Amino acid sequence: MQITVTRESFRLAQVFTISRGSRTEAQVLTVTVSEGGAAGRGECVPYARYGETLDRVAAQIEGLPEGFDRADLQDLLPPGAARNAVDCALWDLAAKRAGRRVWELAGLPAPGPEITAYTLSLDSAEAMEAQAARHAHRPLLKIKLGTPDDMARLEAVRRGAPDARIVVDANEGWSAEIYADLAPHLLRLGVALVEQPLPAGEDEALIGMERPVPLCADESCHDRASLPGLRGKYDVVNIKLDKTGGLTEALSVREAARDQGYGIMVGCMIGSSLAMAPATLVAQGAMVTDLDGPLLLAEDRAHALRYDAAGVHPPEAALWG
């Protein structure tokens, strides 16, 4: 088995800003695993918030020993971007060699399209209202917040898109006091979900606080080991393959979270259709699907995922799986 790691970048359609900063391109690592005349691919997006860089993640992958399989991989690498790309490449390789689709190999029902959120970048209230108005036809908008001045932004987005469901992502940017001030207004403005209002290390403050709309753990939830620490704080968990370390653990997190009474959100980093493709399987029946990465790009891969009024569709075999 041969593993190659390639660095690639995809231009964004416009500058994308969250509370931690702005970017103009998506920098990704593409992993190709070749064996027996077949090749499988996976993509990951190293994330600085978790101490990941392109160099560090590439080194993790290139340091893997010979002769491992997907089960071995779960112990060889920790949850994170490196394991994600390799795990998804191994699933793709298995599908290519078997002449079947990944969902068949995993014992899953054939997937269908899922309505996905479309993310509005953090900006001034006026600019976010304009963004919302341009995308008011979309059924679900996700807005990036995370500053002390978010009330005006939230009101502006609601004016711009009066009929859309809204998901708010604070990206750990609020304090307990700011969240408590905003909470009563979230329901009034039709917010369906709030992601990670407080920093992951400070979310004990959520225990006992009013939750007028469901709270979703993002930075606080990585894999199954995260779930016990979420009790009493969150109602929903955001499953991202770059956090779980691939499709294998993502499916296990989904099952365990549902068993423990959590709702499911499936999210993404900003990457190409190859990064989103495995996540479409995890997103089946999710409370919220947020797999809009390719919609934010100015360019994408061949055989890109299809997005239409029905949502994001499962991948063609030529792309993945």
Active site residues: 144, 240
Task: Give the C-alpha separation, 156 to 126, whole Å.
Answer: 7
* CB burial of residue 175 (10 Å; 0-12, 13-18, 19+): middle
Q: Quick check: 57 and 46 in contact, CB under 8 A?
A: yes
Task: Give the C-alpha separation, 17 to 146, whole Å.
Answer: 11
Task: Give the C-alpha separation, 18 to 144, whole Å.
Answer: 6
Task: Tell me phi and psi for residue 121, to 5 degrees.
Answer: -70, 150
Distance separating the N- and C-terminal Cα atoms of the chain: 18
Cβ-proximal residues to 127 (8 Å cutoff; 6+ apart), any chain:
none
If phi over 0 gives left and psi between -120 and 50 gives alpha, with beta otherwise, what is residue 311?
A: left
Q: Quick check: 291 and 311 in contact, CB under 8 A?
A: no
